[in-house]
Structure 1
Amino acid sequence: MRSKQSSVKRPDAMNLRQSIKTLWPYITQFKGRVFIAAMALVGAKGATLLMPWALKEIIDSVDKSIHPVLFIPTLLLIMYGALRFASVFLGEIRDAVFSRVTEHAMRDIGLKVFKHLHSLELAFHLDRQTGGISRDIERGTSGLSFLMRFLMFNIVPTLFEILTVALIFGTLFSIWFALITLLAVAIYITFTVTVTQWRNRFIREANTADNLSNTRAIDSLLNYETVKYFNNEEFEASTYDTFLARWEKARLKNRMSLLALNSGQALIIASAITALMWLGSSEVVTGTLSIGELVMINAYMIQLFLPLNFLGFVYREIRRALTDLENMLGLLNKKPHIADTPASQLLTLSKGEVSFNNVSFSYDANRPILNNVSFSVKPGTKVAIVGASGAGKSSLARLLYRFYEVSSGSITIDKQPINTVTLHSLRQAIAIVPQDTVLFNTSIRENIAYGRPTASEAEIDQAIAMAHLTAFINSLDKGDKTLVGERGLKVSGGEKQRIAIARAILKKSPILIFDEATSALDSHAEQAILTAMRAVTQNHTSIVIAHRLSTIIDADNILVLHKGELLEQGTHSELLALNGQYAQMWQLQQEQAKNT
Structure 2
Amino acid sequence: MAIACMLVISATTTFSAYLLKPIVDDGFVEGEWSTLYWYCAILVAVYIIRGFAMYGQTVLLAKIGNNVVARYQRRLFDHLMRLDIGYFTASRSGQLTAQIAQNVTGIRNLLNTTVAATARQIPTLVGLGGMMVFMDPVLSLAVFIIGPPMIYAINYLTRRVRGLAREAVEINSRYLGAMQESIQGIAIVKAFTMEDALSGKMSGLIGRAENRSNKIARVSERMTPITEILVGVSVAAVLVYAGWRASTQGVPPGSVIAFIGAMLFAYEPVRKLARVPVDLERALVNARMIYDILDAEPQQGDAPVAEALQVKEGNVLFDRVSFAYAEHMPVLHGVTLEAKAGRTTAIVGPSGAGKSTLFALLQRFHDLDDGKITIDVQDISLVTKHSLRSAIAYVSQHPYLFEGTIRDNIRYGRPDATDAEIDEAARLANAEEFILRQPQGYETLVGESGATLSGGQRQRLSIARAIVRNAPILLLDEATSALDNESEAKVQQALDRVMKTRTTLVIAHRLSTVINADQIIVLEEGRLVEQGTHRTLVRKPHGIYARFYRMQTEKTDDLLEAAPVDSGGAKRAPRTKETEERR
Could you say whether these structures have the same fold, taking a TM-score greater than 0.5 normalized by the shorter chain as the test?
yes
**What is the aligned partner in structure 1 of residue 67 from structure 2?**
104
Could you tell me which residue of structure 1 aligns to residue 103 of structure 2?
A: 140
The answer to whether the aligner puts 1:569 opposite 2:534 as a matched pair is: no
User: 1: distance between equivalents of 2:221 and 2:112?
Assistant: 26
> Aligned partners of 1:588 and 1:485: how far apart in 2?
39
Cα 1:345/1:588, change in 2 over 3 Å: same
Give 1 or 2 for the bigger CA radius of gyration: 2
- Per the alignment, residue 55 of structure 1 pairs with 20
Of 344-353 and 425-434, deviating more is 344-353
How far the C-alpha of 1:186 sits from its partner, in A, is: 4.0
* Structure 1 residue 360 displacement after superposition: 0.6
Residue by residue, what CA displacement relative to the aligned partner does 1:467-499 show, whole Å, maximum 9, x if unpaired?
Answer: 011222233343233333222222222111111
Q: Structure 1 residue 383: deviation in Å?
A: 0.6
Alignment deviations for residues 429-454 of structure 1 (CA, whole Å, 9 cap, x no partner): 11100011111243322211221222
Instruction: State, as a whole percentage, how many aligned pairs show the same letter.
Output: 30
CA distance in 1, matches of 2:435, 2:449: 18
Matched, 1:594 2:553: no
Matched, 1:165 2:128: yes
Q: What residue identity is the alignment partner of 1:249?
A: N
Structure 1 unpaired stretches of 5+:
1-35
- What amino acid is aligned across from residue 88 of structure 1 in structure 2? G
- Once the two structures are TM-superposed, the CA of residue 85 in structure 1 deviates from its matched residue by 2.0
Q: Secondary structure at the match of 1:315?
A: helix
Does residue 468 of structure 1 match 2:426?
Answer: no
Structure 2 CA distance for partners of 1:426 and 1:193, relative to 1, 3 Å: same
Separation in structure 2 between the aligned mates of residue 412 and residue 178 of structure 1, nearest angstrom: 80
Provide Cα deviations, 1:1-55, integer angstroms capped at 9, x if missing partner: xxxxxxxxxxxxxxxxxxxxxxxxxxxxxxxxxxx33333322211111111112
Superposed CA deviations along residues 342-397 of structure 1, whole A, max 9, x for unmatched, are 32211122211111111011111232111100111111111110000110100111
2:237 matched to which residue of 1? 275
Give the secondary-structure state (helix, strand or coil) at the position aligned to 1:405. coil
Deviations 1:184-205 (A, max 9, x none): 2343233223212212222222
The Cα of 1:428 is off from its aligned counterpart by 0.5
* CA-CA distance at 1:272 after TM superposition: 2.1
CA distance in 1 between counterparts of 2:404 and 2:122 reads 52
1:305-384 paired onto structure 2 within 5 Å:
305-384=267-346
Contact 2:14 2:131 in 1 (8 A): no
Amino acid in structure 2 at the alignment position of 1:302: L
Per the alignment, in what secondary structure is the counterpart of residue 93 of structure 1? helix
Contact 2:428-2:494 at 8 Å conserved across structures: yes
Say which SS state the counterpart of residue 222 (structure 2) adopts.
Answer: helix
Residue 445 of structure 1 corresponds to which residue in structure 2?
A: 407
2:2 to 15, 22, 37: 37
1:392 aligns with 2:357: no
Distance 1:285 1:355 in 2: 102
Distance 1:262 1:172, change over 3 A: closer
2:115 to 152, 161, 170: 152
Shift of 1:126: 2.5
1:360–1:409 Cα contact (<8 Å) kept:
yes
Counterpart for residue 509 of structure 2: 547
CA distance in structure 2 between the aligned counterparts of 1:70 and 1:83, rounded to whole angstroms: 20
Which deviates more, 496-505 or 279-288? 279-288
Q: Give the TM-score of the pair, scaled to structure 2.
A: 0.92
Q: 1: distance between equivalents of 2:411 and 2:328?
A: 41
Residue number among 58, 73, 76 corresponding to 2:39 in the alignment:
76
Given the two structures, how large is their TM-score scaled by the length of structure 1?
A: 0.90
Deviation at 1:68, TM superposition (A): 5.5
**Which secondary structure does the structure 1 equivalent of 2:5 belong to?**
helix
The answer to whether the Cα contact below 8 Å between 2:98 and 2:177 also exists between their aligned partners in 1 is no
Distance 2:452 2:170 in 1: 34
Q: 1:78: how far off?
A: 0.9
Secondary structure of the residue aligned to 1:518 is: coil
Who is 2:170 aligned against? Answer: 208
TM-superposition CA deviations, 1:562-592 (whole Å, max 9, x none): 0000001111112123331111111111111
AA aligned opposite 1:422: T
Structure 1: which amino acid aligns with 2:174? L
Instruction: Quote the offset at 1:73 in angstroms.
Output: 1.8
In the TM superposition, residue 259 of structure 1 has moved relative to its aligned partner by 4.2
Cα pair distance change 1:53/1:352, threshold 3 Å: same
Unaligned runs of 5+ in 2: 560-583
Cα offsets for 1:164-201 (capped at 9, x unmatched): 33332333313x33333333234323322321221222
Across the aligned residues of Structure 1 and Structure 2, the Cα RMSD in angstroms comes to 1.9
Quote the residue 2:381 is aligned against.
419
Distance in 1 (CA, whole Å) between partners of 2:247 and 2:25 is 16
In structure 2, relative to structure 1, the CA distance for the partners of 1:268 and 1:130 (3 Å cut) is farther
Structure-2 change in CA distance of 1:88 and 1:186 (3 Å): farther
Q: In the alignment, which residue of structure 2 is the partner of 1:508?
A: 470
- Residues 177-186 or 269-278, more deviating: 177-186
Is 2:239 the partner of 1:253? no
2:578 corresponding residue in structure 1: none
- Kept in 2, the 8 Å contact 1:166–1:181? The answer is no
* Change beyond 3 A, Cα 1:70–1:463: closer
Letter of the 2:422 counterpart: I
Mapped to 2, the partners of 1:45 and 1:306 lie a distance apart of 12
* Cα pair 2:300 2:367 within 8 Å, conserved: yes
Q: Shift of residue 133 of structure 1?
A: 2.1
Equivalence for 1:263: 225
Using the alignment, how far apart are the partners of 1:68 and 1:237 within structure 2? 74
User: What CA distance in whole angstroms lies between the structure 2 residues aligned with 1:299 and 1:459?
Assistant: 75
Q: Deviations over 1:84-121 (max 9, x none)?
A: 22223223223434544433332221111111111111
Quick check: 177-186 or 47-56, which moved more? Answer: 177-186
Letter of the 2:538 counterpart: L
* 1:297 pairs with one of 219, 235, 259: 259
| CA displacement, residues 124-144 of structure 1 (integer Å, 9 cap, x when unaligned) | 222322332223222322111
Aligned partners of 1:103 and 1:423: how far apart in 2?
34
CA contact (8 A) 1:359 1:411 kept: yes
- 1:433 paired with 2:395, answer yes
Q: Is the 8 A contact 2:122 2:269 kept in 1?
A: no
Contact 1:451 1:504 in 2 (8 A): yes
- Which has the higher mean CA deviation after the structures are superposed, 522-531 or 564-573? 522-531
Amino acid in structure 2 at the alignment position of 1:173: D
For residues 70 and 498 of structure 1, do their structure 2 counterparts lie closer, same or farther at Cα, with a shift above 3 Å needed? closer
- Whether the 8 Å CA contact 1:385–1:561 is kept in 2: the answer is yes
Amino acid at match of 1:121: D
Contact 1:192/1:265 (<8 A) preserved: no
Q: 1:194 aligns with which of 123, 133, 156?
A: 156
- How many equivalent pairs are there? 558
What letter matches 2:330 in structure 1? P
